[in-house]
Amino acid sequence: MRRIMITGIGAVTPLANNFFDSWSLVKKGISGISRISKFDTTGLSWTMAGEVKGFNPELYLSKKEILKLDPFLHYAVAAATMAAEDAGLLKSKIRNSKFEFDNAGVIIGSSRGGITTIEKELSKLLTPNSKLSSYLMPSTTISMAASYVAQKLGTKGHCLGISNACASGTNAIGEAYRLIKHGYADIVIAGGTEAPICRFCVEGYGISGALSKTDNPSASRPFDTKRDGFVLAEGACILVLEEYASAIKRNTEIYGEIIGYSSTTDAYHITRPDIEGEIRAIHSSLEDAGVSPEDVDYINAHGTSTPIGDMVEANAIKNIFRSNIPAPVTSIKSMTGHMLAASGSFEVACTAMSIKEEIIPPTINITQKDHECNINVITEKKEADIKIAITNSFGFGGVNAVIVLKKVDE
């Protein structure tokens, strides 16, 4: 049986402009959430977001590329380049160098794609004599994240863009896992990317009732009694997945092993989650991994901070993991906000690092745990010997993706 390893990680998040600084702040329980600065929020009830700060796309793209591409592509290229460098897959450290393996695959998920550029271009329709950009269509399509990363890195193998709401990034990693597992590739670059911090997106999510109206950085408070919605965020996280023999041959560092994946749908409601669907998704991932609920030492929750979503996920977890010593649970979105597709992939990476470093990061902003979310939510950093962990992603439309990770055998 082919084994699938994580051998490279790159990220741009509200916490930092690379993965390892972001992970360091996650362990410290630092929030990346602040008041929206990318547009005027006057008249809006939703004022907080997880914005990327101080990011310089010129490190990865030409000035012409920056102008014609949506920020979700900027973040994807940056994160993928960092991941490829981290895995030692570039022929040199020069960021415009080509990928060492032409037949490697790329799978990247996004929920909203180029929505920032779409909003900008739509405003031109209200201005006399203004013309739409000739790059509007190609630079905003969701599949362009995978295509452009492949173009920049020189990969010519499997290439796929996935849009599966908030599960998109996790699904991208899961499908990459399957691709390698069944022998179609030895290396796949996979993850999620989003740049949804624009009025169109914030007001759209807000009017649906999904966003928090709390006007301070503690607005994202998963499993707390006063949670009132998620905090929209942006960023990207890309992983290099690699077949074990290939990783050993290259003598590259291994961050973790993926041993199970499930992708299911509730077939229930456009926005409301269904506990039976989430239970089925978690069970399916454990079956794929060949482990039981009793084997799981840590759960990285979807934990978005919505009243219904957190309650349903908590009850699904409680239904499956019935041990007298319940597995510890963390929600990283308490620090990053909800980066949509990028959150799923970032949380897979953080779960791998939790296993590797034997550390469970905290869930912050909890002042009083909701008694209806009766699970073992960790609010202080904790040392733990984690052999098996899962990470959940659940999205609008009842789409579910769960990844199972394992401590790498020495």
Q: Which residue in the list 158, 159, 201, 302 is annotated as catalytic?
A: 302
- How long is the chain? 410
Grouping H, G, I as helix, E, B as strand and the rest as coil, residue 231 is coil
Amino acid making up residue 37:
S
Q: Which residue in the list 166, 198, 201, 373 is annotated as catalytic?
A: 166
E-only strand ranges, 254-398: 256-265, 298-300, 328-330, 359-360, 376-377, 382-383, 388-395
302 flagged as catalytic: yes
Closest listed residue to residue 315, CA positions, set 272, 374, 390:
374
Q: What is the spatial distance between Cα 175 and Cα 100, in angstroms, rounded to a whole number?
A: 22
166 flagged as catalytic: yes
Q: Which residue in the list 74, 198, 237, 338 is annotated as catalytic?
A: 338
H runs (alpha helix) in 290-340: 307-320, 333-336
**φ and ψ at 169, to 5 degrees?**
-65, -40
Note whether 235 and 26 are within 8 A (CB). Answer: no
Find all residues with CB under 8 Å of 151, minimum gap 6, and list them.
Answer: none
Amino acid making up residue 69:
L
338 flagged as catalytic: yes
Q: What is the spatial distance between Cα 38 and Cα 17, in angstroms, rounded to a whole number?
A: 17
Q: What is the spatial distance between Cα 279 and Cα 316, in angstroms, rounded to a whole number?
A: 5
What distances in angstroms separate CA 369 from CA 181, 313, 329, one per listed residue?
40, 14, 13
Closest listed residue to residue 212, CA positions, set 204, 225, 221:
221
Q: Give the DSSP letter string of 377-394.
A: E--S-EE---SEEEEEEE
Residue for token pair 């919605």: 229
Closest listed residue to residue 340, CA positions, set 211, 224, 215:
211
Q: Give the DSSP letter string of 130-190.
A: ----TTHHHHH-TTHHHHHHHHHHT--S-EEEE-BTBTHHHHHHHHHHHHHHTTS-SEEEE
Question: Which residues form the catalytic set?
Answer: 166, 302, 338
